[in-house]
A = this chain, B = another copy of it.
């Protein structure tokens, strides 16, 4: 198993990336090799502590900045760590790719250099939200698909259920539709049409609508929405964590809003695992992203999604 990671991606690259790799390798018992993709001269000073079999360095002389225009940067910087990371993944040289670099460039590359799993209309990105009872909820889509069709949302429900079972180890994940009322028939046209598909979908456990007030409650394990709404909710939640920090409002519940703990966001429905990290990721986040990539490869979660959408 080979996991590619962008050592030039994120605000604290390469040091925090490499420390994360060390933490991960120290804790894993599976034979896994991490492919460090980035500027070789910046990476090499940190390599003394590694077992040579566990790592490989692939030189990528260019870096796409956090604020560069994704498509333009990808076109111009074919030797960037993100470009090379996806080249290796598409060629089968690696089995997964992780980066905390430019999110837009990651998403564009993922969609253009990899195929969606057969049968999947659109890949999706999800977020984990800390629920007030201590458990964790999955919200998707959180920004990859700003305009959605009901059939796409229905597939997000299937992909989310497979992910929740395989990766989050929730045996019977409950799915709710994000909506502005509890009863069937509520909501905008998209929500109304999606409700009809979800309630007859035998591959998921549909528990009805979830309102804004239910997102942090234990109404469901997976909440489905279009990527416009999901992205706004996610960034709103992140800002609350930031504001609580600035105002020195301390409570263990707010600590759980620290997205660092969750590692990164996998792109669901792609042929291979791609994990997008937050720009502010530190070593713990990178370690968690590597562990997530390993689990996604071991469970072959993408193949399971294919089986479900084709069932």
The 3 closest A-B pairs by CB, nearest first: A212-B235, A212-B232, A212-B236
Beta-carbon contact of B239 and A240 below 8 Å: no
Beta-carbon contact of B216 and A240 below 8 Å: yes
Binary interface encoding of chain A residues 232-271 relative to chain B, with 1 for a CB under 8 A from any of its CBs, else 0: 1111111110110011010101100000000000000000
Contact pick for A233, options B143, B232, B253, CB 8 Å: B232
Q: Which of A146, A191, A216, A217 has the most CB of B within 10 A?
A: A146
Which residues on B sit within 8 Å (CB–CB) of A251?
247, 249
Which residues on B sit within 8 Å (CB–CB) of A95?
none
Q: State which of A82-90, A221-229, A299-307 sits at the interface with chain B.
A: A221-229
The A interface, classified by DSSP as helix, strand, loop or mixed, is helix
Beta-carbon contact of A238 and B253 below 8 Å: no
Contact pick for A188, options B187, B228, B246, CB 8 Å: B228
A180 at the interface (CB under 8 A from B): yes
Q: Taking CB as reference atom, which chain B residue is nearest A132? A: B243
Which residues on B sit within 8 Å (CB–CB) of A214?
239
Residues on A lying within 8 angstroms of B by beta carbon are 132, 143, 146-147, 178, 180, 187-189, 191, 211-217, 226-229, 231-240, 242-243, 246-247, 249, 251, 253-254
Q: Taking CB as reference atom, which chain B residue is nearest A229? A: B229
Contacts A188-B226, A239-B216 given: A146-B232 contact, CB under 8 Å? Answer: no
Contacts A216-B240, A217-B239, A246-B132 given: A211-B232 contact, CB under 8 Å? Answer: yes
Contacts A216-B243, A251-B249, A253-B249 given: A180-B233 contact, CB under 8 Å? Answer: no
Q: Taking CB as reference atom, which chain B residue is nearest A146? A: B188
Q: Apart from A178-B232, A212-B239, A232-B233, what 4 extra A-B contacts exist at CB < 8 Å?
A: A143-B180, A180-B232, A180-B235, A212-B233
Contact pick for A187, options B211, B228, B234, B239, CB 8 Å: B228
Complex CA distance for A242 and B213, rounded to whole angstroms: 9
Complex CA distance for A234 and B228, rounded to whole angstroms: 16
